[in-house]
Amino acid sequence: MTTHQAPTPSTEQATDQPRLLVESRPARLIAARYDRLPFPTMGPQQELVFDLGITALHGAIELSGIVIKGYNEHQMVFEQRWPGRMIRQRTGEADLQIPAGTGLAVRGMHFMLHGYEPLTMVEVTVVGKVVTAADAEEDMHDHEHGHEPEHEHSHDHHHSNRAATTQAVLQMPVVQYENKTDLHFPLRGAWWAIQGSDWSDQHKQEVFSQTYAMDFVKLGPDNHFFRNQGMALEDHYSWEQPVYATAGGKVAYVCYDMPDLPPGTPPNPRMFRDDPRRLLGNAIAISHANGEFSFYGCLQQASAQVQEGQIVRRGTLLGRVGNSGNSPGPHLHFHLMEGPNPFIDQGLPLKFSHFSAGGQTFNEPITIPSRMIVFGAPEAESADTGGRA
């Protein structure tokens, strides 16, 4: 990650101190490439997401705009300009003035574009106006007397005739990633991918580990994922369904003691015991000895069939689908990471193999897009004697 300050000339006294600090989470971006799907497409796509943090270091700053540019080596691939009014809509902040020593987060900056030129770097330029003591006093006077700007543009240019401007530039390397592990689909029967691989995916609110996470619910004979009103766990076709290891490896993490909650019931924060991993409920993480860890979350309480340190083969029964942790209803949460710890280890794009969809069987890794119905291998094919793969 590279960040540097680029102050512009002003009538204010010059200062050598940077006024803005711009950071991203994560610092290194991992992009997903969607070049092959279970149905015809209009061409390859690529996707990435990050949170942006903007800190005013030496004096208050009024944020004016953000410019995002994506590059393939030295060739610019895309550019977006976010003026103040867009930033206010994104953050929900009515005022973009950042007091000294504080910051503003612009979360979930999600970009999906063509994949003809793979991104290698994203550059973000943040522009702001230096807020002087006189500016702050005038703002306070206006606020106390109810003198609000008539429209949003007037707020952006409120100090433009007398304020110095400043900017900071952040450069983030982009890695185009393909999973090394052949991940066989871990479920049996008909499942609906309710989240994953597009802008509507709520996992992208947690940009570090779960950017490319997927959620699956089982479909019943009526093509619904629950019967009756869905108010009981047993109403959901996903409930108690077996979950199998996508590939062989060593069990790196197991959580098994969290209760399964009625659908739609938020968890009591005390259940998490100050351990953020427990937000994903009962869970199992498996190391595949190649820098990749598969993570199975929201499992049924006490259903874990493995323990930490155990070596497992592909197709080993790991546990059963539950509704533990921060879960709206029974489903399997799955993601791939660089380590076993959510919120610490960075998430990775993933492709599954050995499933069918749209009347075709896919035995090679391929992307499962959101809202696609897929069918896992029959029960007789769930066990594999090939060990790790």
Q: SS3 string of the chain?
A: CEEEECCCCCCCCCCCCCCEEEEEECCCEEEEEECCCCCCCCCCEEEEEEEEEEEECCCCEEEEEEEEEEEECCEEEEEEEEEHHHHHHHHCCCCCEECCCCEEEEEEEEEEEECCCCCCEEEEEEEEEECCHHHHHHHHHHHHCCCCCCCHHHHHCCCCCCCCEEEEEEEEEEEECCCCCCEECCCCEEEEEEECCCCCCHHHHCCCCCCCCEEEEECCCCCCCECCCCCCHHHECCCCCEEECCCCEEEEEEECCCCCCCCCCCCCHHHHCCCHHHHHCEEEEEECCCCCEEEEEEECCCCCCCCCCCEECCCCEEEEECCCCCCCCCCEEEEEECCCCCCCCCEECCCEECEEECCEEECCCECCCCCCEEEECCHHHCCCCCCCC
Go through the domains of the chain in sequence order and give each one's CATH number. 2-176 (no CATH), 183-381 (2.70.70.10)
Please report the pLDDT score of residue 387 as a whole number. 38
- How much is the pLDDT for 11? 33
Tens digit of pLDDT at every position of the chain (389 positions): 445 554 443 333 445 688 999 999 999 999 999 999 999 888 999 999 999 999 999 999 999 999 999 999 999 999 999 999 999 999 999 999 999 999 999 999 999 999 999 999 999 999 999 998 666 566 555 555 555 544 445 454 454 455 799 999 999 999 999 999 999 999 999 999 999 876 677 777 888 999 999 999 999 999 999 999 999 999 999 999 999 999 999 999 999 999 999 999 999 999 998 899 999 999 999 999 999 999 999 999 999 999 999 999 999 999 999 999 999 999 999 999 999 999 999 999 999 999 999 999 999 999 999 999 999 987 545 554 333 34
Please report the pLDDT score of residue 6 as a whole number.
46
pLDDT at 263: 98
**What pLDDT is recorded for position 16?**
65
Contact 109, 51 (CB under 8 A): yes
**pTM for the model:** 0.88
> What's the pLDDT tens digit per position in 274-304?
899 999 999 999 999 999 999 999 999 999 9
**Separation of alpha carbons 86 and 266, rounded Å:** 32
Do residues 247 and 312 make contact, with C-beta atoms less than 8 angstroms apart?
Answer: no
Residue 99: alpha-carbon gap to chain centroid: 29
Would you say 247 and 336 are in contact if contact means Cβ atoms under 8 Å apart? no
Phi, psi of 276 (to 5 degrees): -60, -20
Q: What is the pLDDT of residue 199?
A: 63
